[in-house]
Amino acid sequence: MAGDEGLLDVVWMLDDACREAGFFYVVIKGHGISESLMTEVRDVTRKFFQLPREEKLKIKMTPQSGYRGYQRVGENVTKGKPDMHEAIDCYTPIEPGRYGDLAKPMEGSNLWPDYPSNFDALLENYISLLRVFIMLFFISDLSRKIMRGIALALGAPLDSFEGGVAGDAFWVLRLIGYPVSDDIPQEERTDIGCGAHTDYGLLTLVNQDDDICALEVRNQSGEWIYAKPVPGTFVCNIGDMLKVWSNGIYQPTLHRVVNNSPRYRVSVAFFYESNFDAAVEPVEFCREKTGGVAKYEKVVYGEHLVQKVLTNFVM
């Protein structure tokens, strides 16, 4: 592979992006995901959020549902402030007992929207859901490939994230809607769609609406820069587990969402994470590159996620 210049270019670009920005765009061409599939997944999501509140609440997220399902505007909280988005959260299904006490709060399977009673709509819904699954399938494979690129970018073996780190990668899917500010009752309104945060796992791929600038990324000078939509691409960013594994060579970047546009914004974020029970710690050769000392303590990914999930919501 050392002779493959195209590959080396990509690896070099990945390294540069992960060091400098923590964010990059991935063009979907040739990955089995078409731009129209990405659009359709956002459209299904938009349709769901347009349903009456009672309909959406049929798949309400609760502690009993393993924190899977629908959350209303203001129920997700970041740094103590309600976020102005509604969402459906889906996670890799977890059978009871699978990870012992570690995964208890998140056990269960996902809540998908109910089938409407009429047949056309049923079929439409069925196909839409299927598309979401097709999307999940491709996107997970794409993520695995990007992680191989990131391994090479760090100078590590290609398969570094297989096996105990992310050979059985836990995935999270968030279907998110950001209402127009004026449409939110004033007493419930805050000025932020999603407060500043970093993502929890290895890699995030965001499928965002084409025509609205709302996702902002903090650069090294502390300025907020739009991750402008580029049709046919995913906005990718690295997460907390990659920081720990690389001993800080790659840092997750703070980002937030502010929808100041006069349009309802939809994004579908796919989080490719380590194995639920992975104990992630700075890998030796990354430690060597960074002065020999581990800068972060070992983190069990599932503990990190559960701790976030248990504190992210006011219900």
Ligand X SMILES: N=C(N)NCCCC[C@H](N)C(=O)O
Q: Applying CB under 5 A, does 273 fall inside the site for Fe ion?
A: no
Task: Copy the structure tokens of residue 309.
Answer: 């999930």
**Span from 122-130, 155-163, 191-199, 295-303 in contact with Fe ion (CB under 5 A):** 191-199
Binds 267: which of ligand X, ligand AKG, Fe ion, none (CB < 5-8 Å by kind): ligand AKG
Q: Which residues pair with 108 in a beta bridge?
A: 94
Per DSSP bridges, beta strands 23-27 and 233-238 are antiparallel
* 45/208 with CB nearer ligand AKG: 208
# of chain residues touching ligand X (CB under 6 A) = 11
> What are the angstrom distances between the C-alpha of 162 and each of 95, 151, 159, 204, 273?
22, 10, 5, 17, 12
Q: Please identify which residue in 65, 76, 233, 237 interacts with ligand X, judged by CB under 6 A.
A: 76
- What would the x/- binding string for ligand AKG be over residues 249 to 288, using CB under 6 A? ------x-x---------x-x-------------------
Residue 145 binds ligand X (CB under 6 A)? no
Report the candidate in 245, 91, 243, 276 with the shortest Cα–Cα distance to residue 169. Answer: 276
On whether the CB atoms of residues 108 and 145 are closer than 8 A, the answer is: no
C-alpha 171/C-alpha 175 separation (Å) is 13
Q: Which is nearer to ligand AKG, 246 or 267 (CB)?
A: 267
CB nearest ligand X: which residue? 78
Calpha distance 84→101 (Å, rounded): 32
First to last CA, the chain: 52
User: Residue 144 CB, nearest distance to ligand X (Å)?
Assistant: 19
Type of residue found at 49 = F
**Which part of the chain contacts ligand X (CB under 6 A), choosing from 52-60, 72-80, 100-108, 296-304?**
72-80
CA-to-CA separations, 93 to 5, 135, 222, 230, in angstroms, rounded:
40, 17, 38, 32
Q: How many residues bind ligand AKG (CB under 6 A)?
A: 11
| Binder of residue 312, out of ligand AKG, Fe ion, ligand X, none (CB less than 5 to 8 A by kind) | ligand X
> Does 23 participate in binding ligand X (rule CB under 6 A)?
no
Mark residues 168-207: x for contact with ligand AKG by CB under 6 A, - for none: ------x-x-----------------x----x------x-
- With CB under 5 A as the contact rule, the residue among 83, 86, 89, 199 that binds Fe ion is 199
Are the beta carbons of 56 and 49 closer than 8 angstroms?
A: yes
| 15 contacts Fe ion (rule: CB under 5 A) | no
* Residue 124 structure tokens: 């439409």
Structure token pair of residue 182: 């004026």
Phi then psi for residue 102, to 5 deg, are: -50, -45
Structure tokens at 101: 């006490």
Amino acid, single-letter form, for residue 283:
V
Report the interface residues with ligand X, using CB under 6 A: 76-78, 172, 194, 197, 199-200, 271, 308, 312
Residue numbers at the binding site for ligand AKG (CB under 6 A): 174, 176, 194, 199, 206, 208, 215, 255, 257, 267, 269
